[in-house]
Structures are given as C-alpha cells and as structure tokens.
Structure 1
Amino acid sequence: MDRQRNTVLEALLAEYDFTHRTLAAEVNDVAEGIFGRRGDCADRHVRRWISGEVRWPWTRYLLPLEQIFDRPAQALGFVPRGKNSANLPTPPLLPRSTPTPKQQEEDPVQRRRFITASAAATVALALGIDDTPTGGRLAMSDVQRVHERISRMDAHFFSIGGGPLVSVSTEYIARLRGALDGCTYGERVEKALHAAISSLYASAGWACHDSGNADQAGLFHAAALQSAMLAADPAAVARAWSDLSLQARRAGRHREAVQITRAALDNRRARQDPRIAALLHARLAIGQARTGDRTGAARALLGAEKAYDRIDPTAPVPTWLAFLTPAELSGLAAIAHRALGRYDQAEAATAQALDLLPESMRRNRTYYTVQLAELQLAQGEREQAAATVTGLDVASLDSRSITDRLDRVRTRLTA
C-alpha cells in the first residue's frame, strides 16, 4: 500500500500546539488512566503516524489518542487494517485528570468558573469573558478566543471609557494565570497567553487613569511590561513602554517620559511597525514639548506623520491601536502645541481631530471636546468655549478623569 501522509493528525498537532515529543508524553499520561500503567509511546511513534508509515496504531495508542482529541480514530486520519480492526474495545477506565479538547470547550462543571454577581460581572458577562479553562490542553484556538474577548473590552473602553474594566481586567488576569498553572500547553501557547495578560494589564492601567487612580495605573503598566517580556513579543513590549511614558508624563516627570519613549523607539520592531512608530513619535513630541524642546517636538511630530504615511491600509490593525487614526494624530499634535504655548495651533488641531473622529469613539470625542473648550478659555474665548460644551452629554461616559476636566471648564464659565 502506498504511504500517505496523515495530514489530519498533523493539523491537530498544530492546533493544540503539540510537538511529537509532547504528544507522546500526553499519550503515555492518558494510557496510565485507561490501563493502569504508563504507556511506552515515544516521539518516533508520532513521526511514523504522521508520515503514514503506520496507518493504524496499536490499541494502546489509539484509545489515548481518541480521548485526547475526543474523536474516533478514523477521524484522526487513521486507516483501519481490516473491518474488525476498526472496532476498538471500550476503555476500561476513564481518566479524571486529563479533560479532552471537547471537554475543555463544553464541560461547564470541571472546566469553567464564573464571576460572581456585581457591576463588573455584568460587563464581563456581556463581553463573554466569564469562562476560562482551569484544566486540560490549551490550543491556539483557546488563545484566539481570549484575544477576541480582549478586543471587545477595548471597544468598550473606546466607546464609554474605563469604569468597571479595572476589576474585569484583573479578574480575567487571575483566571488566565490559573489557566497557566492548571492547564498543559506548548511554548507557543504559553507566550501567547503572556501576551494576552500583558494586554489586559495595559487595559487595566488605562481604566485606572479614567478612574483617577494614577498610582494603581503605574503598577499595572509595569506589570504589562513584565508580561510582554515573558511573551517575547516586541509589539507588546513597545506598547508597555509607551504606556509607561504616558504614566511618567501625567505624573509630571517629563524628562523621564522622553527617555522611556526613546527607549521604546530603540526597539527595532517598534521602528518597523508604522502604527507603533507613529504613536511613539507623537508621544515623544508631547514629552519634548513639555521639556521646552521645540525643535525636538517639531521633529518628532514630523516623524509621526512620516510613520503614519507608511501604514498599509489593507493590513490588520491590532485592537489596542484601533484608536490611532488621523484624528488621534491631530489630537496628540494639539497636546504638543498646547505644551509649547501655541494655543491657536492647538485649537485648530483639536477641531480637526473632532471633525475626523467617528461617532462610535464617544470617549475620545468627549476628551477632545473638553480639550477644545480648555484651549478656547485659555485664549479668552468664553462664548466659544460655552458653545463647545453646551449639550455635551457625559451621562453614559464612564471616565472620571474626563468628567472632572469638564466640571472644571463649566466652573470657570460660571465664575
């Protein structure tokens, strides 16, 4: 019989992040639960199954394989030697310690935990992050679901602000750390989980800023950098550095903010990714403006524009960078101009940002509307400032930092 490669099994190994060696070890572990003794499977057996040299393994291997992938042997790409060989015996004992991939997805008792009732739990339920694996084998498909949930959290933030996302993010981080401790996975999945945790720490940091808790935000941004380094993900590292520079700037440590941003730009991946480079250059411009470096600020703003011009509009956009549009670049440029005392240029750039912002980004729209009113007041344009904030509805906005700024504007208008 001609040898035919078992592409089905090969694809399953890739999906569940198994190497030949780790699958062999898993077969041996499951065999111990079925037969009462550890199996003798080795990586050479797996290679022979995939190459097609062995098209129907022995029962002591097939039964564990069926349980690991929760599908019959023929659905694993194996071909029976004869009619009777396809009828495998019933396993004498079902293991309790190794849930199958199917159980990982569907067993609500052994594999899922739920967030207790609270305001944050309502958001968590709506975002679909209330179930996290606590055992079994994790695949890249599990990680993909994690990132999809994080994307929905990012969209929630851009729409109405941080609010309960602090507790939602920290709860999800705890669950993912539980998955790291209680599940089995390959190196690729492990790094991807650390990248997801870094993203959640970053989200928690931004939510803290919105809630007015700067100290806690700094701790979250530092934790995001640590997880990004564990993930060996240059983009996540650049994001964490960028957030730490913003943290330093908000604390009034402007020279430190400049140094951090420059360190982030030293990352080759950051320089090569035009979106990340554009964001870092824009934030560098603000830091340099705050330190009085007019030439450096102008050069950094130009660098942001050049980097943004290199963006491929057909390339996928990371959800955390979805906010970086021409509107946001105009808004960031306005902050730099304001720091340099160029209020007229800052006002024009802020107005441009508002013209370009989509209606769905309510948080950012409110942020720049308040900024526009502040700039108008700084130039003595009280009537324009009053018109800018008239009718501004923040009832659905969950950002204390923005609403506090709006209150200060209205207080000045009524003084």
Structure 2
Amino acid sequence: MPGNAALRRRMLELEITQVELAHRVNDHIETVSGRYGTCCERTVRDWLTGKTRWPHVKQRAALEAVFGCKAEALGFVRRGAACPASPAEEQVQRRTFITSGPTAAIAAAVPVFSTRTTIGASDVLRLREDLEALRALDNRRGGHAELERAALMGAGRVLDLQQNGSASERVRCRMFGLAAEFNGVAAWSCIDARELDRAQQHLDTFMRLAGLAKDPDAQFRVWNLVAMLAHQRHEYTEAVAAGKAAQAVGITRRDPMLSSLAHARTAIEQAHLNDRQAALRSIGLASDAMGRAREMPRPSWIAFYGPAELHALTAVIRDRLGDAEAAEAASHQALALLPDQFRRNRALATVSLAFAQLHQGDVELATSTAGRVFTLMSGAPIPGRLRTRLGDFHRELLTLPGNAPAAREWADQFRTEWSRS
C-alpha cells in the first residue's frame, strides 16, 4: 500500500515528529470531548505508510485542526470514494461533540475544525527575511525611531502568531527566538540613538524572550547589549560584568568569533576604568580568539564583527589609554577593511581616527578627518551615538589653546551640519 506523501510533507514543513503529532491529536480530542485520545506513534506510522487510509472521525477532526486543512488535503482517502459519513460515524460525532456531559460548554465553544493558524518553517523564513531587512537598514542608517517602531511591529506579529497559531515545539522555540531578535533590534536601535530608558525596556523584553526561546545566541547578544547600555550610562563596572557574562555563555566557548567580541567589549570598559593592564590583556585575548575563528554559519547580527571592527575597538581602547599613535594605526587598519555597507561603523571609525590625530596635536588633519563623517552620513540623520562622539570631539577641540583657523572652520561646519541632522 503506497505511503502518505502529503502527510509526511506537511509534518516535515511544520517540523512535527510522529510522537508529537500523536500527542497533539490526543490533546485536541481531549479539548472537545473531555477524554484524552488513544493515538500513539504506531497510529501515526500507519497513517504515513498508508496502512490506515481514512482515520476515524475524532482523529480526522483533530488532524484537520492541527494542520488547518481537510483530511483529503493530508493525503487521506475516504472509504467508498465520496460516500457520506456512515450512521455509525454520525452517531459517534453526535455523542462525542454534542452530548459530552460536563464538557458540553467547551464543545460548543471550540469548533470541530479549528480555525487556528498552523505555523510552519515557511512562516519562520518569511519573518526572518523581515528581520534581515531591518538589520540592513541599521547598517546603512544606524538607530532611529522608524527602525525601533518597525522592529516592535515585527515582534508583535510574531507574538500574535504564537498566541493564535499552533506549532511544533521546535518551531515555537524558533518563534520565541524571532520575537526576541526583533526586540533586540529595537533595543539596539535605542542604544545607537541614545534613547537609554526605552532601550532598557526593550532589553528587558529581549532578555525574557531569549530565555523562553532557549537560544544561546540570543542570550549572548543580551549580555553584549547590556554591556553597551551600561557603557552609555558610564556604569563601567557593570559593563565589565556583562562582558564577562557574555564570555561565560556556552556558545562563546564554542565559537572564537563570539569569544573575541566578548573580550573586546570587556576591554573597552576596562580602559574606561583606567585599568590598563586588564584592558590590554582582554584586547589581546580578543585578537587571539579572532585568529582561531573559522568560517561557519553564524547569525546575521554579528556580520559587523570581524578583523575590521576589532581594529576599530582597539583604536578606541588605545586612545583611551593614551596611546594615540597606536590608536591612529588601528583606525587606519579598520577603515581599510570595513565593508562599504557598514556606513555608520565607518563613520564611527573615522571619528576615532580624528581623535587619535587630535591627541597627537595635528588639529588641521583631525578636523579634516572629522569633517568626512558628514559626507559619509550624507542623506541620513546622524544616529545619537555618533552625534555624541562628534560632540565630544567638538568640545575637546574648543578646549585647545589658541584659535587655529582649522578649528574655526570645523566649528562652522559642525554647527551647519548639526542643524541639518
């Protein structure tokens, strides 16, 4: 007897195992009749092999509810071709779904053929494409209110599907992971825009959903964002602790690229605590881990991190520790390697280069370098984090003795561009 290819295909699409399908069928039967069903793995196997071509009425109703379609669409063949249901089946239907004693109210409220959406791998892929589009927008423009709103709308769509749809446990975990990632984009957008209170709210939701998703990658990203938010609040000790928490996540020990990022993030905070030895040790560990990293499938959010970004972070650390010459060299290395699509990151690396040149006393070169940021970000508002760095550069420039023409020209350009952005 031929196997049931349609049912097998639907199970693969929704990532439902034989055991899980049996449980879900039994659960549905219990919901509408008050008594747990008798379906088992062998029952499902008989459906798949074609040994059972037309399940009995309660199981058919449950299958149609689980998959959201008629039994015929699942590859089942009605006995006697298009014969109507037998009187015996009608009697079972009436007894089971209408006169079930204490569960009559439930039976009346829950239709035999559920209208709940069945969530499958195609839904996950479609939502992930939306997520990737938001990340590409972030790389071009940086954090802004529209990006935050779009990310929250994406999270809302995912959670609405979770609430109103049925899915396998594996798909449900993926959906929680997607909801977490959308909230992570919203949190990151606020961090980049320096909307710190809203960032904290989204980060709290991100942390909760990452736990529900049981996703170690999301948990790593939570600690990475916690460190960045604490840094913006000048809570450097907490930021160091978050960086070390990221180092302790299991996935970090398995992927040197993530380990490198966690060590680099820790080094930034140690440098701001003026702990030179610890900062240099951490950035050295980040470099060593980067050297061990190999090509492998990774989530798209970490696409920004590689040798170029490590050089950019090294420049910040070296400049903070007073090594302006080494910071300038690291900034040049970062800009030589950064892909063009990471426009905001190139702008940040350019500001770091300007700081390094300013700290070596070359005011004219530093202001010329800083001015390139406005060209890089032309056509898009300047994100809050980048605006803060430019503001810091401007204030430090004004504190220098003398009133060099280069400084005056920069001040004029700064005021003009600031009003436009």
The reply to whether TM is greater than 0.5 is yes
Quick check: 2:260–2:285 contact (8 Å CA) kept in 1? yes
Q: SS of 1:85's equivalent?
A: coil
Q: Which residue of 2 aligns with 1:268?
A: 250
Aligned mate of 2:358, from 374, 377, 385? 377
Q: Which residue of 1 aligns with 2:306?
A: 325
Q: CA deviation at 1:328?
A: 0.6
Q: SS of 1:312's equivalent?
A: coil
Q: Decide whether aligned partners of structure 1 residues 158 and 75 sit closer, same or farther in structure 2, where only a CA change above 3 A counts.
A: same
Q: Which residue of 2 aligns with 1:395?
A: 378
Q: Decide whether aligned partners of structure 1 residues 264 and 39 sit closer, same or farther in structure 2, where only a CA change above 3 A counts.
A: closer
Q: Which residue of 2 aligns with 1:42?
A: 39
**What is the TM-score of this pair, normalised by structure 2?**
0.77
Whole-angstrom CA distance in 2 between matches of 1:185 and 1:291: 48
Q: Which residue of 1 aligns with 2:80?
A: 85
Name the aligned partner's letter for residue 308 of structure 1.
M
Whole-angstrom CA distance in 2 between matches of 1:359 and 1:29: 58
Q: Which residue of 1 aligns with 2:281?
A: 299
Q: CA deviation at 1:337?
A: 1.2
Q: CA deviation at 1:359?
A: 1.2
Quick check: 1:195–1:236 contact (8 Å CA) kept in 2? yes
Q: CA deviation at 1:354?
A: 0.9
Point out the more displaced range, 245-254 or 391-400. Answer: 391-400
Name the aligned partner's letter for residue 160 of structure 1.
R
Name the aligned partner's letter for residue 9 of structure 1.
L
Q: CA deviation at 1:162?
A: 1.5
Alignment of 1:274-289 (within 5 A): 274-289=256-271
Q: CA deviation at 1:27?
A: 6.8
Q: CA deviation at 1:234?
A: 1.2
Quick check: 1:7–1:50 contact (8 Å CA) kept in 2? yes
1:142 aligns with 2:123: yes
Q: Decide whether aligned partners of structure 1 residues 37 and 364 sit closer, same or farther in structure 2, where only a CA change above 3 A counts.
A: same
Name the aligned partner's letter for residue 402 of structure 1.
L
Whole-angstrom CA distance in 1 between matches of 2:34 and 2:201: 48
Q: Decide whether aligned partners of structure 1 residues 67 and 206 sit closer, same or farther in structure 2, where only a CA change above 3 A counts.
A: closer
Q: Decide whether aligned partners of structure 1 residues 246 and 50 sit closer, same or farther in structure 2, where only a CA change above 3 A counts.
A: same
Whole-angstrom CA distance in 2 between matches of 1:409 and 1:290: 17
Q: CA deviation at 1:141?
A: 2.3
Q: Which residue of 1 aligns with 2:235?
A: 253
Q: Decide whether aligned partners of structure 1 residues 389 and 340 sit closer, same or farther in structure 2, where only a CA change above 3 A counts.
A: closer
Aligned mate of 1:361, from 342, 346, 359? 342
When Rg is computed on C-alpha atoms for both structures, the one with the higher figure is 2
Alignment of 1:100-111 (within 5 A): none
Quick check: 1:288–1:296 contact (8 Å CA) kept in 2? yes
Q: Decide whether aligned partners of structure 1 residues 70 and 174 sit closer, same or farther in structure 2, where only a CA change above 3 A counts.
A: closer
Q: Decide whether aligned partners of structure 1 residues 310 and 177 sit closer, same or farther in structure 2, where only a CA change above 3 A counts.
A: same
Whole-angstrom CA distance in 2 between matches of 1:305 and 1:405: 25
Name the aligned partner's letter for residue 385 of structure 2.
S
Q: CA deviation at 1:357?
A: 0.9
**What is the TM-score of this pair, normalised by structure 1?**
0.78
Quick check: 2:68–2:118 contact (8 Å CA) kept in 1? no
Q: Decide whether aligned partners of structure 1 residues 183 and 72 sit closer, same or farther in structure 2, where only a CA change above 3 A counts.
A: closer
Q: SS of 1:54's equivalent?
A: coil
Q: SS of 2:80's equivalent?
A: helix
Q: Which residue of 2 aligns with 1:20?
A: 21
Whole-angstrom CA distance in 2 between matches of 1:74 and 1:97: 14
Quick check: 1:222–1:244 contact (8 Å CA) kept in 2? no
1:211 aligns with 2:162: no
Quick check: 1:160–1:396 contact (8 Å CA) kept in 2? no
Q: Deviations over 1:109-151 (max 9, x none)?
A: xxxxxxxxxxxxxxxxxxxxxxxxxx51212321222222111
Q: Which residue of 1 aligns with 2:218?
A: 236
Whole-angstrom CA distance in 2 between matches of 1:223 and 1:98: 31
The alignment's C-alpha RMSD in Å is 3.2
Q: CA deviation at 1:244?
A: 0.5
Name the aligned partner's letter for residue 12 of structure 2.
A
Q: Deviations over 1:235-293 (max 9, x none)?
A: 11111011101211221121221122112212222221222111101111112222233
Q: Which residue of 2 aligns with 1:153?
A: 134
Name the aligned partner's letter for residue 232 of structure 2.
R
Aligned mate of 2:182, from 200, 207, 210? 200
Alignment of 1:61-100 (within 5 A): 65=63, 69=67, 76-78=74-76, 80=77, 85-87=80-82, 98-99=114-115
Aligned pairs, number: 370
Whole-angstrom CA distance in 2 between matches of 1:88 and 1:334: 78
Q: CA deviation at 1:70?
A: 6.4
Q: Decide whether aligned partners of structure 1 residues 220 and 73 sit closer, same or farther in structure 2, where only a CA change above 3 A counts.
A: closer
Q: SS of 2:166's equivalent?
A: coil
Quick check: 2:307–2:334 contact (8 Å CA) kept in 1? yes
Name the aligned partner's letter for residue 387 of structure 2.
T
Whole-angstrom CA distance in 1 between matches of 2:181 and 2:149: 14
Long gaps (5+) in structure 1 = 100-134
Q: Decide whether aligned partners of structure 1 residues 136 and 261 sit closer, same or farther in structure 2, where only a CA change above 3 A counts.
A: same
Quick check: 1:27–1:41 contact (8 Å CA) kept in 2? no
Point out the more displaced range, 147-156 or 214-223. Answer: 214-223
Aligned mate of 1:179, from 153, 158, 161? 161
Whole-angstrom CA distance in 1 between matches of 2:225 and 2:284: 21
Point out the more displaced range, 357-366 or 9-18. Answer: 9-18
Q: Decide whether aligned partners of structure 1 residues 397 and 96 sit closer, same or farther in structure 2, where only a CA change above 3 A counts.
A: farther
Quick check: 2:147–2:186 contact (8 Å CA) kept in 1? yes
Long gaps (5+) in structure 2 = 91-110, 398-406, 412-421
Q: CA deviation at 1:56?
A: 4.2
Q: CA deviation at 1:161?
A: 0.9
Q: CA deviation at 1:322?
A: 0.6
